[in-house]
Structure 1
Amino acid sequence: MIVPDIPQNAVAVADHYDELDPVYRRVWGEHVHHGLWETGRETGAEAVEALTGAVGDRLRLMPGEVCVDIGCGYGSTARKLAATHRVRVTGFTLSAEQAHYAAAHPAPDVDIHLRDWLVNGRTDASADAAWAIESSEHMVDKPGFFAEAHRVLSPGGRFVVCAWLAETDANGWKVRHLLEPICREGRLPSMGTREEYEAMAMAAGFTIAGYEDVSRSVARTWTICARRLVKALLLDRGTRRLALGARNRIFVLSIPRLILAYRTGAMRYGIFTLSKAREHVAPGGER
């Protein structure tokens, strides 16, 4: 597990997204996650929607199901999947600014909460499906992240996790100059490998139903973000003022690191499809 030299916590994560909210919406838009280029011909907006669609497909969502979006950002993925699959979604975010934006853009069957997933307050077995798109990285207690998802899901529930991952056995310079600074600058308490994620998921009780490394298909995200940010810095005084004076302005340095981390293989992007076992009913009806 890659751990930054300056410890990060939920308060730091919330502050990061609250302070940089105007930049995130200017550069990333409503979806604060990577795009997925399946053919290579998609626009940035189409690629972002493609990742959302890929999550929905892996979850095999059915109309009327109860779902949880862990680290929902502005609620865009929740709104999209609720509309396309006719499911009910409860989202959780640490950012007050993201929660305010979601409240100003309500949608049927979508409910967004300003609350830490690790103390989410949901009852046991209260959801049919859950997803976490690039939010597990911000969890201080990653085993607890998986354990809460397993507790909240009903037997047979599905869970998809899209995660920034460290290269397995990354060598010293990649850790020192790419992965550790990315964690520190991006307010990530830690960054795990595929193997570490799978071990934590299984320890929580999940079965690994699938895994796909889509690093090559998402890496273009950061060159697009870099171009958008440069344009915003040149043309928008508010963005320029925030980028130069914000407490969290150091995140700007992570963009070239992320581009290099993908190109060198130091960082990977994985999609995990997990399932919770169905309850076993013995002959005679005993569980």
Structure 2
Amino acid sequence: MIVPDISQDAAAVADHYDELDPIYRQVWGDHVHHGLWATGRETAEEAVEALVDAVADRLNLEPGQESVDIGCGYGATARRLAQTRKVCVTGFTLSAEQGTYAAAHPAPGVDIQVRDWLFNGLPDASAGAAWAIESSEHMVDKPGFFAEAHRVLAPGGRLVVCAWLAGTDARGWKVRHLLAPICREGRLPSMGTREEYEAMALAAGFAVRDYEDVSRRVARTWVICAARLMKALLVDPKIRRLALGARNRDSFWSIPRMILAYRTGTMRYGIFTLAKVKPA
């Protein structure tokens, strides 16, 4: 497990997203996660929705099913799946700004809560499906993240996790100059490998149904982010003032690090499909 030299907690994660909220929405829009390209001809907006749809396909969602979006951001994924898959979604975010935005964009069947997933308050076995798109990285207690998902899911329910992962063989300068700084600048308490994630999922009681490494299909996200951020800094004085004066301005250094981390194989992007096994 990669751990930054400065510890990060839930308050630091919330502060990061609250302060940088205008930049996130201008640079990447309502979906605060990678895009998934199949042909390379998709727009960024089509690619982020393709990732959402890929998650939904792995969940085997059924109309009317109670579902949970763990780390829901602005609620865009919850709204899309409520509309396209007819499920009911409860979403959790640490960010008050994201919660305010979600409340201003309500959708039938969607309930967004500003609350820590590790203390979510949902009843046992109350959901048929759950997903976490690039939010497990922000969890201080990753075994607790999996344990809570297992508790909340009904037997037979599925959890899909899209995660930033450390390459299994990442060592030396790759850790010192890429992965550890990405954790620090991105407010990640830790970054695990595929093997560590699967071990935590198994320990929580999940069965691993599938794993797919889609690093090559998501990596261009950061090139697009870099170009959009540079343009915003050049043409928008408000964004420029915020970026230069923000407490969390060190986060922007992670963009070139992410580009290099993907190109060198130091970081991977994995999609895990997990199931809570029905008792025999």
TM over 0.5: yes
> Does 1:270 pair with 2:263?
no
Q: How does 1:55-204 map to 2 (within 5 A)?
A: 55-204=55-204
Cα separation, 2, equivalents of 1:211 and 1:237 = 43
Structure 1 partner of 2:30: 30
Cα separation, 1, equivalents of 2:45 and 2:258 = 20
Cα separation, 2, equivalents of 1:68 and 1:212 = 22
Cα separation, 1, equivalents of 2:190 and 2:107 = 33
TM score, norm. by length of structure 1: 0.97
TM score, norm. by length of structure 2: 1.00
Q: How does 1:209-228 map to 2 (within 5 A)?
A: 209-228=209-228
* 1:215-250 Cα deviation digits (max 9, x unpaired): 000000000000000000000001100110000000
Cα separation, 1, equivalents of 2:248 and 2:14 = 11
Cα separation, 2, equivalents of 1:252 and 1:268 = 20
Cα separation, 2, equivalents of 1:25 and 1:95 = 13
Q: CA deviation at 1:171?
A: 1.5
Q: CA deviation at 1:279?
A: 2.5
Q: CA deviation at 1:39?
A: 1.3
Please give the secondary structure, in 2, of the residue aligned with 1:113: strand
Q: CA deviation at 1:106?
A: 0.1
Cα separation, 1, equivalents of 2:204 and 2:39 = 35
When the two chains are superposed, the root-mean-square deviation of aligned CA atoms in Å is 0.4
Q: CA deviation at 1:169?
A: 2.1
Cα separation, 2, equivalents of 1:205 and 1:169 = 27
Structure 1 partner of 2:235: 235
Please give the secondary structure, in 2, of the residue aligned with 1:270: strand
Cα separation, 1, equivalents of 2:198 and 2:228 = 35
Q: CA deviation at 1:126?
A: 0.3
- Greater than 4 Å deviation, 4+ residue runs: none
Identical positions, percent? 78
Please give the secondary structure, in 2, of the residue aligned with 1:274: strand
Structure 1 partner of 2:49: 49
Q: CA deviation at 1:38?
A: 1.0
Letter in 1 for 2:75: G
Structure 1 partner of 2:40: 40
Cα separation, 2, equivalents of 1:95 and 1:56 = 24
Cα separation, 1, equivalents of 2:108 and 2:116 = 23
Please give the secondary structure, in 1, of the residue aligned with 2:279: coil
Structure 2 partner of 1:244: 244
Cα separation, 2, equivalents of 1:199 and 1:169 = 17
* 1:234-282 Cα deviation digits (max 9, x unpaired): 00001100110000000110000000000000000000000001122xx
Provide structure 2 residue ranges, at least 5 long, that are not aligned to the other structure: none
Letter in 2 for 1:151: R
Structure 2 partner of 1:283: none
Structure 2 partner of 1:14: 14
Q: CA deviation at 1:46?
A: 0.5
Cα separation, 1, equivalents of 2:233 and 2:71 = 28
Structure 1 partner of 2:256: 256
Q: CA deviation at 1:25?
A: 0.2
Q: CA deviation at 1:40?
A: 1.2
Letter in 2 for 1:128: G
Q: Which has the larger radius of gyration?
A: 1
